[in-house]
Structure 1
Amino acid sequence: MRSFPYPDAGSPDLRSPSRFLWWLAKAQRATLLLGIIYGSLWTVSQALIPYVLGQAIDLGIVAGNFRALAGWVALLLGLTLIQAVTSTLRHRAAVSNWMQAAFRCSQLIGYKVTRSGDALPQKFSTGEVVSTSASDAMRIGEIFDVSARLAGSIVGYLLVAFLVFQSSWQLGLVVLFGVPLCGAMLLFVIRPLQKRQKDQRDAAGKMTALGADTVTGLRVLRGIGGEHIFVERYRERSRETQLAGNKVAYSLADLDAAQVLVVGVFSVAFTWIGAMQALSGQIETGQLVALYGYAVFLVSPIRTASDAVSRFIRANVGARRIIDVLATPSAVHDGGTTVGAPSAPSALLDSSSGALIQPGLLTGIVSADPAASAELARRLGRFEDAVLREAQVLWGEAALHLVPLGDVRSRIVVSDAEPQLFTGTLREELDPSGRHNDAGIMAAIDVASAADVFDGLEHGLDDEVTEKGRGFSGGQRQRLALARALLTGAEVLVLIEPTSAVDAHTESRIATALKTERRTEANTTVVVTASPLMLGAMDTVYFLDSEERLTQGTHHQLLATVPDYRNVVIRGAGMDGHADRGHEPDGPADDNHSTSSSEGQR
């Protein structure tokens, strides 16, 4: 049993599709070699059967030698047994090669997605990346599946050519040059197939991308009554993909027809020449039977070769798409790091704004411009190294973008304003690494004031979470994400609008519990929010005005002395208060606070 994913997927060669495929082949050369060996033995045993059958006829039946006939029949049975065993082993190796290549490609794409920051979403839509991983990776695997049969076909073709030469040099030349000629004739049909497959792949990628984008914004579309517009767009894309697929099917039908025609003409010509030589006495009866068997056998190498070319074209198209994804420069890099992470909890200094985040404190971030506070949070979380080179963030004495990425990700955690929940048990969702017992998980849930989540769950922490947490209301999803962030035990925790979708009473409890939980010397907590309830629990607050001038103080000090801050916070508090909307699986939030508190930040 082979275990996936690989401990290390490796560093792929992205210079061209052919080099990438060759790199994949080298990465699994052991099983490829096994497949080639089994495929060669399987094909050789097939190729030898007509020869043994001819010898049995000439040396056994025609010669009247029963002992010789018994020997050749025993050899024939042995070849049949070898063919059966090697066929099974070849198929197992071929499937293994297919899965290894496909899984390695998917793993590379997965690593790229998790390590590229915002660089990949800026270039590709979610649907395109999903299509690359799900479709193109499997197409690449196909070429490694056919490799064992192709290698065996080449060996079998050369063996048959040698055996035919023993009977007739004229027929030997027909085999030696006729088989490659038949394969070359099929290229005229395969070439249009390449372009049509590329067009079909592009159309399918656009359709998948549109579908993913539509599903992502489905609730918004329903709210404004725009579903029918996107449904029509998806239908158009689907129709284009269907037409492109039909063209591919036409080419595949032409290829199948050409295979039947070319191979049929070759087999008839080969058999006819052999029959003429048998009538003239140039070859024996058994040799004629063997020649007919060779003609039937040679159908397989020709078809395998054309199939391999077709699959290589698809794999080449898929490899080019995967290279486009993998070659996208990452927003963060882990190479060339020269500075170690601070050994103890240290302050974070953002040189662009002048904000100094002290360890052991709860720090609030408020901005008149939502983009400014969002960018500050991104800098503290090291989302883009290029930005940090221009607006450097110091972690203690070390430049944050020079610290090993693993240390940054394990000690600095950013919980986004729109957190994602994934399919699985609630326990796995909240504690993916399995570091906490039930008591620890429930303690984090209490801090996030998310105990009401269990009201509708039969199995508690072992209950299944639906995709994107659609079984929970907006506020429940947000509070579960807060509990998940707390369970990371991160030294620096950056929370972006963690309570924008909960009512005022719940928000007050969260603010109090968060202050108790995180106010230790080992913890640094940054909360980006405009909610006065959360800001009132902060030890210190930084306010960025419209000209990005920084003012520091407590919440009450800034309310009394900075009019712009007071305007933002009052707008953040809203005029309608908070009204819990309860359990609404498809609702964007639990209450009106989602459209009032967040206005100051969005």
Structure 2
Amino acid sequence: MRAFPYPLTSEPDLRSPARYLLWLGGLQKATLAAGILLGTVWMASQAVMPFVLGRAIDDGVIGGDAGALLGWAAALLGLMVVQAVSDTATHRAGVSNWMQAAFRSVRLVGHKIARTGDALPTALSTGEVVSTAASDAFRLGEVYEVLTRLAGAAAAWVVVTVLIWQTSAVLGVVVLIGVPVCCALLLFVVKPMQARQREQREASGRMTAVGADTVAGLRVLRGIGGEHIFVDRYRVKSAATRDSGIRVAHSLADLEASQVFIAGAFSVVFTWVGASLVLSGDITPGELVALYGFSIFLMTPVRAAADSVARFIRAHVGARKIIAVLSVDANVSESATTVSAPPPGSVLVDERSGVVVEPGLLTAVVSREPAESTDAVTRLGRFEDAVLEEATVRWGAADLRHVPLADIRARVVVSEASPHLFSGPLRAQLDPRGTHEDGAVLAALEAASALDILDGLEGGLDHEVTERGRGFSGGQRQRLVLARAYLTEAENLVLVEPTSAVDAHTEQRIAARLAGARRSEGRTTVVVTASPLVLRTMDRVLFMEGGRVTDRGTHKELMNRNDEYRNVVIRSE
């Protein structure tokens, strides 16, 4: 019984497309070997049939030996059975090889998407990544399917050469040299096709990127009446993709025509030489029939070579795109020198900004420039190691860069300003790990003032959320994400502008319930906000100017003594 998904026993070789293809092949050596063996049996049994037919004519028909005729007829029947069985088995092994390579590549891309974070969309567009997983991986897998037929065709070419050599050394030399020459001639057509396919793949990726961007911002575009601009952009990219596809089709047509012409010309020359040998009495009529069958069969290796080259080109282009995705490094990775995570109740300190998060308190961070306070508290979640090289963050006595990521992710949760929801049941969106009973989920929704959202859904917690939560308004998404943050029960929870998209009445309810939702068991909460409704419920407020904390105290204390703080809060109100 096979185990799925297929195991990945080593790291992918990303040094070149060819090395990546070889690495994938190494993971499925058994099925590749089986496919090549079966393909060889299939093609070799076809190659032997003209020889058996010629012997049946010479020994049975012309020689008048009924026993020999029956014997060779039985051999033909046996070859047909072998062909039927090996053909079916070869196809099955080929498809298995195809799917293994394709789904291993899709799995690698999926893992990279999940683990790389913001680094991947910064390096590559969404359309490029989608095309890589949806298209390139499966084109790459075709190589391992066609490899079985290519190996079989090569083996059949050797068998035919040996059989023809027994009949005529001249024809043996023609086959031995002529077939590789015919295959080599096809390279003159293949090279321009490779460049055109690369161009078409690039154009397709750009078109998909524009489509993905349009879909992502469709609601906004409709609101401002700008959808026609993106439609025009997509039309231009689509036309470019169509034109490049037509050029690829021209190359494919040239390849098809070339292989028919070259193989046909070789077949004519081969048959003409064989007929001349019959007229001169060097070979028998049965051998001529066999040679004619060989001439037809020898088109198979040429066609197999042409098909394989075309697929190898597509796979090479696809492998290059997959390598581009897999080569993107995450913004954060495990340190070579790790230290133990600090005990519960340890203080978090961002040394660059002077933000100090005391355990068990509700701390607000306010700044004239919201980006400054957001950057400071986001560093507490360790999302970019490059940033932490310039700004040390300490968790207790430990440098955050050296604390294991698993501990940070479990104990420090950052809920960013732009809420994200995914497709699936609402219950799974709020409690991804499925560790809470419905009562706890409802309590979190109550704390986030989001129960009214649930009341408006026919399926309740089983409601199917559409892609990116587009069925909800911005304020509804924000409250649902806040409830999800509460359900993490993180020791340290960082909330960035958690009430920016809700009305004042809802914001007041959220602010009033925030302390009750987080103070239990001494949990620590950091909120980036300038809303007085939220600030007045905080235990401590840190005020930043120029990227540094310049004052701290309660909201009331800062309002009484700090004019800059008062101006920021009043402006936000």
State the secondary structure of the residue aligned to 2:520.
Answer: coil
The code of the aligned residue for 1:511 comes to: A
State the secondary structure of the residue aligned to 2:493.
Answer: strand
Residue 500 (structure 1) aligns with: 500
Deviations 1:432-466 (A, max 9, x none): 22222323322322222222223343322222111
Tell me, yes or no, if the aligned pair for 1:9 and 1:104 is still in contact at 8 Å. Answer: no
Residue 90 (structure 1) aligns with: 90
Tell me, yes or no, if the aligned pair for 1:361 and 1:520 is still in contact at 8 Å. Answer: no
Q: CA deviation at 1:503?
A: 2.1
* Cα distance between partner residues in 1 of 2:361 and 2:235: 54
The code of the aligned residue for 2:381 comes to: G
**TM-score, normalization: structure 2?**
0.95
Residue 49 (structure 1) aligns with: 49
Alignment of 1:263 with 2:271, yes or no, is: no
Which runs of no fewer than 5 residues in structure 2 stay unpaired?
Answer: none
Residue 286 (structure 1) aligns with: 286
The code of the aligned residue for 2:262 comes to: V
* Cα distance between partner residues in 2 of 1:73 and 1:524: 87
Tell me, yes or no, if the aligned pair for 2:267 and 2:296 is still in contact at 8 Å. Answer: yes
Pair 85,528 (structure 1): closer, same or farther in 2 beyond 3 Å: farther
Residue 339 (structure 1) aligns with: 339
Residue 552 (structure 2) aligns with: 552
Farther-moved stretch of structure 1 (209-218 vs 229-238): 209-218
Pair 62,444 (structure 1): closer, same or farther in 2 beyond 3 Å: farther
Q: CA deviation at 1:40?
A: 1.6
Residue 393 (structure 1) aligns with: 393
Pair 485,144 (structure 1): closer, same or farther in 2 beyond 3 Å: farther
* Cα distance between partner residues in 2 of 1:279 and 1:461: 87
State the secondary structure of the residue aligned to 2:413.
Answer: strand
Tell me, yes or no, if the aligned pair for 1:431 and 1:484 is still in contact at 8 Å. Answer: yes
* Cα distance between partner residues in 2 of 1:450 and 1:9: 46
Alignment of 1:234 with 2:234, yes or no, is: yes
Q: CA deviation at 1:3?
A: 5.5
* Cα distance between partner residues in 2 of 1:411 and 1:79: 68
Residue 150 (structure 1) aligns with: 150
Q: CA deviation at 1:288?
A: 2.0
* Cα distance between partner residues in 1 of 2:158 and 2:178: 12
State the secondary structure of the residue aligned to 1:541.
Answer: strand
The code of the aligned residue for 1:303 comes to: R
The code of the aligned residue for 2:474 comes to: G
* Cα distance between partner residues in 1 of 2:332 and 2:444: 30
State the secondary structure of the residue aligned to 1:435.
Answer: coil
- Identity value in percent: 59
Pair 30,398 (structure 1): closer, same or farther in 2 beyond 3 Å: farther
Alignment of 1:438 with 2:448, yes or no, is: no
Matches within 5 A, 1:181-580: 181-521=181-521, 523-546=523-546, 548-573=548-573
Tell me, yes or no, if the aligned pair for 1:31 and 1:93 is still in contact at 8 Å. Answer: yes
Q: CA deviation at 1:508?
A: 2.4
Residue 40 (structure 2) aligns with: 40
State the secondary structure of the residue aligned to 1:394.
Answer: strand
* Cα distance between partner residues in 2 of 1:400 and 1:422: 30
The code of the aligned residue for 1:467 comes to: E
State the secondary structure of the residue aligned to 1:543.
Answer: strand
Tell me, yes or no, if the aligned pair for 2:6 and 2:100 is still in contact at 8 Å. Answer: no
Q: CA deviation at 1:10?
A: 4.1
The code of the aligned residue for 1:432 comes to: P
Q: CA deviation at 1:241?
A: 1.0
State the secondary structure of the residue aligned to 2:364.
Answer: strand
Q: CA deviation at 1:363?
A: 1.8
Farther-moved stretch of structure 1 (462-471 vs 245-254): 462-471
Q: CA deviation at 1:182?
A: 0.7
Q: CA deviation at 1:291?
A: 1.7
Farther-moved stretch of structure 1 (31-40 vs 519-528): 519-528
* Cα distance between partner residues in 1 of 2:416 and 2:250: 48
Q: CA deviation at 1:425?
A: 1.7
The code of the aligned residue for 1:125 comes to: S
Pair 335,569 (structure 1): closer, same or farther in 2 beyond 3 Å: same
Pair 521,65 (structure 1): closer, same or farther in 2 beyond 3 Å: same
* Cα distance between partner residues in 1 of 2:287 and 2:222: 76
Q: CA deviation at 1:258?
A: 0.7
Deviations 1:322-351 (A, max 9, x none): 222222332111251421222434221111
Residue 75 (structure 2) aligns with: 75
* Cα distance between partner residues in 1 of 2:199 and 2:569: 53
Q: CA deviation at 1:505?
A: 2.5
Pair 59,327 (structure 1): closer, same or farther in 2 beyond 3 Å: same
* Cα distance between partner residues in 2 of 1:240 and 1:9: 41
* Cα distance between partner residues in 2 of 1:363 and 1:3: 49
Deviations 1:467-487 (A, max 9, x none): 111112222211222222222
* Cα distance between partner residues in 1 of 2:358 and 2:84: 72
Residue 166 (structure 1) aligns with: 166
Residue 586 (structure 1) aligns with: none
* Cα distance between partner residues in 1 of 2:553 and 2:279: 108
Pair 283,428 (structure 1): closer, same or farther in 2 beyond 3 Å: farther
Deviations 1:521-570 (A, max 9, x none): 45322222222222222222222124533322222222222222222222
Tell me, yes or no, if the aligned pair for 1:414 and 1:495 is still in contact at 8 Å. Answer: yes
* Cα distance between partner residues in 2 of 1:500 and 1:202: 40
Pair 235,98 (structure 1): closer, same or farther in 2 beyond 3 Å: same
* Cα distance between partner residues in 1 of 2:232 and 2:419: 30
Tell me, yes or no, if the aligned pair for 2:211 and 2:234 is still in contact at 8 Å. Answer: yes
Farther-moved stretch of structure 1 (69-78 vs 18-27): 69-78
* Cα distance between partner residues in 1 of 2:425 and 2:334: 32
Tell me, yes or no, if the aligned pair for 1:447 and 1:514 is still in contact at 8 Å. Answer: yes
Tell me, yes or no, if the aligned pair for 1:115 and 1:330 is still in contact at 8 Å. Answer: yes
The code of the aligned residue for 1:426 comes to: L
Farther-moved stretch of structure 1 (171-180 vs 227-236): 227-236
**TM-score, normalization: structure 1?**
0.90
* Cα distance between partner residues in 2 of 1:550 and 1:27: 58
State the secondary structure of the residue aligned to 2:551.
Answer: strand
Farther-moved stretch of structure 1 (150-159 vs 481-490): 481-490
Pair 441,3 (structure 1): closer, same or farther in 2 beyond 3 Å: farther
* Cα distance between partner residues in 2 of 1:266 and 1:171: 12
Tell me, yes or no, if the aligned pair for 1:39 and 1:151 is still in contact at 8 Å. Answer: yes
State the secondary structure of the residue aligned to 2:186.
Answer: helix
The code of the aligned residue for 1:492 comes to: N
State the secondary structure of the residue aligned to 1:182.
Answer: helix
Matches within 5 A, 1:96-115: 96-115=96-115
Q: CA deviation at 1:34?
A: 2.1
Residue 26 (structure 2) aligns with: 26
* Cα distance between partner residues in 1 of 2:53 and 2:456: 73
* Cα distance between partner residues in 2 of 1:443 and 1:37: 63
State the secondary structure of the residue aligned to 1:146.
Answer: helix
Tell me, yes or no, if the aligned pair for 2:353 and 2:547 is still in contact at 8 Å. Answer: no
Question: What value does the CA root-mean-square deviation take over the aligned residues?
Answer: 2.1
* Cα distance between partner residues in 2 of 1:541 and 1:497: 14
State the secondary structure of the residue aligned to 1:421.
Answer: coil
Tell me, yes or no, if the aligned pair for 2:372 and 2:547 is still in contact at 8 Å. Answer: no
Pair 296,380 (structure 1): closer, same or farther in 2 beyond 3 Å: same
Which runs of no fewer than 5 residues in structure 1 stay unpaired?
Answer: 574-602
Pair 16,65 (structure 1): closer, same or farther in 2 beyond 3 Å: same
